[in-house]
Amino acid sequence: MARVLVVEDDANQRKLYEMELRRDGYEVDTAKNGREAIEKVKAGGYDVVVMDLKMPEMTGLDAITEIASIDKDLPIIINTAYGGWQDDFKSWAACAYVLKSSDLTELRRRIREAVTSRSEGSEG
């Protein structure tokens, strides 16, 4: 079973993602900010990270930079309601960008692709 880390400061959004992704068969862990996410990634075992960008304590972009230095092959999906992130070089470490929506179809697809890509990469 693939492990997903959802990093989201909004408690309701975090719970929604957790419930929906568990329903899809993923093992889901959550973090409420970038610092918490980094500590969880250091402990290891994730197949993909879903990262919000605007959060207290540490932005998603700063967390992405740190996570990439811990595990450069860990897929990170940016999941945000805000544009303009593409101009920040820190975002280049992400494998995908998904605009937040009540329809999780695109997010689910990107997670599936990231998990498949990571498992195929570890087999080779």
Q: Where do the structural domains in the chain lie, given as residue ranges?
A: 3-123
Residue 17's contacts (CB-CB under 8 Å, 6 or more residues apart) are 6, 8, 28, 30, 50, 104, 107
CATH of domain 3-123: 3.40.50.2300
Sign of CA dihedral 48, 54, 58, 59: positive
Output the six-digit token pair for 20: 């929906």
Beta strands in the chain (DSSP E): 3-7, 27-31, 48-51, 76-80, 96-99
Q: 102-116 burial by CB neighbour count: b if 16+ within 10 A, else e?
A: eebeebeebbeebbe
Q: What's residue 86's pLDDT?
A: 57
Q: pTM of the entire structure?
A: 0.88
**How far is 67 from 76, CA to CA, in rounded Å?**
9
Q: Which two tokens stand for residue 114?
A: 């990231």
The per-residue pLDDT for 24 is 96
> Which segments of the chain have a pLDDT < 50?
89, 124
**Which pLDDT score is estimated for 96?**
78
Q: With beta carbons less than 8 A apart as the criterion, state whether 4 and 48 touch.
A: yes
